Amino acid sequence: MRILDLKQVPHFLPTLAEWHQAQWSYLNPGENLHHRITRMQDYLNEDFIPSTFVAIEDTLVGSAAIVAHDMETRPELGPWLASVYIAPAYRHRGVASALIEHVKQQALQHDIRELFLFTPDALVAFYLQRGWQLVEATTYRGSRVTILSCRLEQASNIKS
């Protein structure tokens, strides 16, 4: 498995947008696939934030991103780990952990020392096992989510 910046393989953007739209459209009411593809064009610019990293094994396997803001209700927090998505056939094989670690290492290289994320409550244990800390449980756009943070100086040594 290789992890690449989406900037290196932009032809995967439409597939990734389809996956993300199917997974998280409930958090973005009114946004259709065309809107998502347009919004995701920002991941192809030269700035580090936002960036999306993709796992590839002959085909697209999954993604993880770093964004400045992921919850407009918490603008004081950031940057955020976002869009961690693994194709169903590749789940439970360590791909998500590898992508998350890659994002953390990239963040450290850009002098970022803390990341935030929000996740549906069903996935909280996954992140806690990987060194993330609870910030708060809340409701976001009608869904129960948990916000977590990770201090990268400490987390960079945690293995999945």
Q: Is the pLDDT of residue 158 over 60?
A: no
Give the per-residue pLDDT at 89. Answer: 96
Q: Does residue 154 carry a pLDDT above 60?
A: no
In a domain, 135, yes or no: no
The most distant pair of C-alpha atoms in the chain lies apart, rounded to whole Å, by 40
CA distances from 148 to 9, 14, 82 (A): 30, 29, 12
Q: Stretch 5-15: mean pLDDT, rounded?
A: 97
pLDDT exceeds 50 at position 156: no
Which residues touch 52 (CB under 8 Å, ≥6 apart)? 5, 6, 16, 40, 43, 63, 64, 65, 83
Lowest mean pLDDT among 94-98, 113-117, 118-122, 145-149: 118-122
- pLDDT bracket for residue 124 (50, 70, 90): very high
Calculate the alpha carbon distances from 14 to 10, 26, 40, 57 in Å.
9, 19, 9, 18
CATH number of the domain within which 10 lies:
3.40.630.30
Which residues lie across from 148 on neighbouring strands? 117, 134
Q: Which amino acid is at 73?
A: T
In a domain, 151, yes or no: no
What was the pLDDT predicted at 76?
96
pTM for the predicted model, two decimal places: 0.91
* Position 150 in a domain: no
Closest C-alpha among 113, 65, 57, 68 to residue 90: 57
Domain count along the chain: 1
The answer to whether position 137 is within a domain reads no
Position 156 in a domain: no
| Rg over CA atoms, the chain | 15
pLDDT in tens, 83-102: 999 999 999 999 999 999 99
Tell whether 138 is covered by a domain.
no
Mean pLDDT of 121-127: 90
**In terms of DSSP H, where are the helices of 28-158?**
33-40, 95-109, 124-128, 152-155
Question: Alpha-carbon distance 60 to 19, whole Å?
Answer: 11
pLDDT confidence band for 120 (50 / 70 / 90)? confident
Instruction: Read off the pLDDT band of 29 (50, 70, 90).
Output: confident
**Domain contains 73:** yes
Q: Which letter does DSSP use for residue 36 in this model?
A: H
Q: What integer best gives the mean pLDDT of the chain?
A: 93
| pLDDT tens readout for residues 32-53 | 999 999 999 999 999 999 999 9
Cα separation, 29 vs 153, whole angstroms:
36
pLDDT over 90 (residue 160)? no
* Segments forming the whole domain that contains residue 36: 2-112
Amino acid at 156: S
Q: Tell whether 148 is covered by a domain.
A: no
